[in-house]
Amino acid sequence: MIQSIMTALGLKKIHHGQGGGGDDFSSRRSYPRRTSDQCISMIDGKAHPVLDWSPGGVRLFADTRPLAIGQELPVVLKFHLQDEVVQVEHLAHIIRKGRDSVSLQFLPLTKDIRRTFQQVIDDFNAREFASSQI
């Protein structure tokens, strides 16, 4: 409700989603967060649960003490799709740290990575549709 009041007063702009089916949403993010996908991340060989992700970045459950805001690091995301596990390796930099989570923003995506992220989104949507038809 506060978001809609801020938008109505012109204090917050409405952005059009570029990766979430064209729905409008109030946010400073370029893409809506995704929380329902089966996904795990790997940083320096250690697994970290993914709290949410989008084609713009990822928020992980992690010990943030050894990490610094602005630090750039390689991240591996592994998505469990219906028939396969898809792996995405890309560079990201730390933009925010919490007590038990860290937010990373991806560096500009390649065409192949963008296509893989869309494959993950399409697979989830297809499974949701199929389960709604039962």
Question: What stretch of H or E contains 54?
Answer: strand 46-54
Q: Is 119 exposed, middle or buried (0-12, 13-18, 19+ CB in 10 A)?
A: middle
The pLDDT score that the predictor gives to residue 25 is: 46
Q: For the segment 103-130, what is each residue's pLDDT rounded down to a tens digit?
A: 999 999 999 999 999 999 999 999 999 9
How far apart CA 105 and CA 113 sit, in angstroms, is 14
Q: For the segment 43-81, what is each residue's pLDDT rounded down to a tens digit?
A: 999 999 999 999 999 999 999 999 999 999 999 999 999
